[in-house]
Structure 1
Amino acid sequence: MQIEVVVNCGAGSVDGTEAEAQRDEIVEAFAPLGVEPRVGLVVGAALEAAVRAAVERGADVVVMAGGDGTLGTAAAALSGSDAVLGVLPLGTFNHFAKDLQIPLDLAEAARVAVEGETATVDIGEVNGRAFVNNSSIGVYPVMVDLRDEIRSSRGWGKVRAVPVAVARVLRRFPTRRMRISADGEQWSLRTPFVFVGNNSYEVGPAGIGARTNMDGGMLCCYVAKVESRSGFARMAFQAATRGASAAPTLESVCSGDVRIEAGGHRVLVAIDGEIATLRSPLVYEVRPAALQVRVPVGSQPVGDPPVGPDAESGVEAEDE
């Protein structure tokens, strides 16, 4: 079995100045498994090209070392190929790995990449850009954009910059007029937050943001039908403490595609925690069973498909 590793030197726990040391740690993690992978250190725009090059060289498993944004880029390159995605979770939040029950420990994750089972999961797309977790419009991408500005100006890390960015966004509390179409339903409203998940998310007292399945062939769209800070806070509290069904101003619908028309020609969008500016309308589509990925043997990373628009679901915004 031919295994190649692509390391995103800009991922949450990868310091570009220590990339060579990270490479050595990865090689050491695979050594007890009898594997000597080719390890490439890349940044930014070079990620997708590096994955495609690994596939062209005949890699059976392309292991991505990075966060959720890294995996979304890899998904675009791997979908439709015979190569399987392996995951070394080196990002800030690593939601995709957690949903698939992939260990966060480097050596254990390497073992899954070599000895694990192969599962098939869906990919979401927005205007042709792939995502493995979710995409959102409104307060979350604005917060991430501000957070990155704060990091750049003050030299802070992500975790330290987040509270300052959140406070600024809540003070401004931007809303936007949107027309949303999904599963035969239409909403025309001003909202601070729209979230489109690759399959259904849960929220409630037991936890926030775990996916109920990753192969249901559906996008699940969540819309905040509020325009004030107090209304938004009330909605979030109701959903977090009693579940989404207890939050009447949080609408949800699951569909194979979602179309969002936003005021203005360009929209700031979060895609697996990465920020992009896209043209309106935003056309979301699901690509069922488009990605093969290594998961732990005997794990059950997916559940039953969502039962429809009234399924109790929830939202997880932080995703990097």
Structure 2
Amino acid sequence: MKVAVVLNQSAGTLMGMPIERATDAVRQAFQRNGAEVEVVATQAAGCGEAVRRAAESDAEVLVVGGGDGTILTGANAAMKAGKALGVLPLGTMNLLARDLNTPMDWPDAVHAVAAGDLRPIDVGEVNGEVFLNASVLGLYPRIIQERDAHQHRFGLRKWPAMALAVAKALRDFPVLDVYIDLGQGARRVRTPVLAVSNNPYAEGYGPVLRRTTLESGQFGVYLARHRDTWGLLRLIARMSTGSWQSDGDLETLSAATLTVHSRRRHLRVANDGEVRRFTPPLVYRMRAGGLRMLVPKAPPER
């Protein structure tokens, strides 16, 4: 099996690590598992081009190491080229890698993916653009843009900038006025946050929500009905205790298709943390089994 690996050396896990040490570890892990491998490390600015070149090579599998945005770039390239994708978690959240049961420790992740199996997972799509984790409207894309602006303007690090952005968004509390249609007719909703996840979230706790399957062929659709900042803060508190799905102001739905209509000319949407502007209507479609993944082997059944 031929494998092409691209590492985003600007990602947090690799910062402070000699890059030759990282590339050697990846190369040796895949070679031990019988693969013919090429490994490239690049700064964030050149990552997209490096991923494109790797996808267009004669490799059968494209492996991308980085955060969720880099992984999404890899998924787009792999799907366009008709190749399988592997992910090495190097970012902050590493949402897809967690749901594939990839170890978060760097050496363990490299060994697990290199020795992994191929299997298909679902991919979400909105107006022709894919996402692997979630597509979010309302407060979240605004927060991301505010965070990026604070980083650029004041030179802040990611998390202090994020804290300021969250505080501003919660203070202003903008409400989205849209119509949603899950195939049974459109209805109007007013919400600060509308989230569409690629496969529903499981009940759990903490800031990183988990999915127990990536093969159900269904979106999870989450509508916040909270009317003020305190209501959203209550939801966040319930997330930390694992009782967020019992929040009476959170509507939880599932569907294989979803259309969002709006009178606005454009809607801001965060796909896997990357903000895009779309012209409504937003048409969500599920590509069931649309991406082959190189994933860690499942633990043996007892």
Q: How many angstroms apart in 2 are the aligned matches of 1:59 and 1:8? A: 19
Matches within 5 A, 1:7-46: 7-9=7-9, 11-13=11-13, 21-22=18-19, 24-34=21-31, 36-41=37-42, 43=44
Give distance in 2, aligned partners of 1:36 and 1:99.
25
Write the distance in 1 (CA, Å) between the matches of 2:185 and 2:10. 40
Q: Residue by residue, what CA displacement relative to the aligned partner does 1:57-106 show, whole Å, maximum 9, x if unpaired?
A: 22122110111122222222222755221111111210111111112223
C-alpha contact (below 8 Å) 1:8/1:44 kept by paired residues: no
Alpha carbons of 1:297 and 1:169: their partners in 2 closer, same or farther (altered >3 Å)?
Answer: same
* Match of residue 249 from structure 1: 249
Contact persistence 1:264–1:280 (CA under 8 A): yes
Distance 1:114 1:242 in 2: 33
Distance 1:144 1:282 in 2: 20
Q: Could you state the TM-score of these two structures normalised by the residue count of structure 2?
A: 0.87
CA distance in structure 2 between the aligned counterparts of 1:206 and 1:12, rounded to whole angstroms: 21
- Inter-partner Cα distance in structure 1 for 2:150 and 2:13: 19
Instruction: Give the whole-Å Cα distance in 2 for the aligned partners of 1:206 and 1:143.
Output: 19
Contact 1:5-1:64 at 8 Å conserved across structures: yes
Q: Deviations over 1:119-163 (max 9, x none)?
A: 210000111111110010111111111111111112122122221
Number of aligned positions between the proteins: 296
1:9-56: CA deviation from partner (whole Å, max 9, x where unpaired): 5545456xx89x435412333325536523152645862x54443233
1:80-91 equivalence runs, <5 A: 82-91=82-91
- Contiguous gaps of at least 5 residues in structure 1: 301-320
Quote the Cα distance in structure 1 between the aligned partners of 2:185 and 2:245.
18
User: Does residue 265 of the first structure (1) align with residue 265 of the second (2)?
Assistant: yes
**Counterparts of 2:80 and 2:276, CA distance in 1:** 24
Instruction: Give the conservation status (yes or no) of the 8 Å contact 1:123–1:198.
Output: yes
Contact 1:190–1:227, Cα closer than 8 Å, also in 2? no
Alpha-carbon distance in 2 for matches of 1:242, 1:7: 34
Gaps of 5+ in 2: none
Give the SS at the match of 2:107: helix
Q: What displacement does 1:219 show?
A: 1.1
Normalized against structure 1, the TM-score is what? 0.83
Q: Determine if contact 2:96/2:132 at 8 Å carries over to the other structure.
A: yes
Tell me if 1:222 matches 2:222.
yes
Q: CA 1:182–1:53 in structure 2 vs 1: closer, same or farther (change >3 Å)?
A: same
Alpha-carbon distance, 1:209 to partner: 0.9
Structure-1 residue corresponding to 2:119: 119
SS at match of 2:202: strand
Could you tell me whether the CA contact under 8 Å between 2:206 and 2:242 is conserved in 1? no
CA shift in 2, pair 1:51/1:245, >3 Å: closer
Q: Given the superposition, is the C-alpha separation of residues 86 and 163 from structure 1 closer, same or farther in structure 2, using an over 3 Å criterion?
A: same
- Name the residue aligned to 2:63: 63
Assess if the C-alpha contact under 8 Å between 1:6 and 1:42 holds in 2.
Answer: no
User: Structure 1 residues 68-77 or 38-47, which shifts more?
Assistant: 38-47
> Is the alpha carbon distance of 1:207 and 1:152 closer, same or farther for their aligned partners in structure 2, counting shifts above 3 Å?
closer
Is contact 1:30-1:111 (8 Å) kept? no
Residues 1:156 and 2:156 are matched in the alignment = yes
1:93 partnered with 2:93:
yes
Cα RMSD (Å): 2.6
Distance 2:175 2:124 in 1: 25
Do the aligned partners of residues 163 and 46 (structure 1) sit closer, same or farther apart at CA in structure 2, a change above 3 Å counting? closer
| % same residue | 32
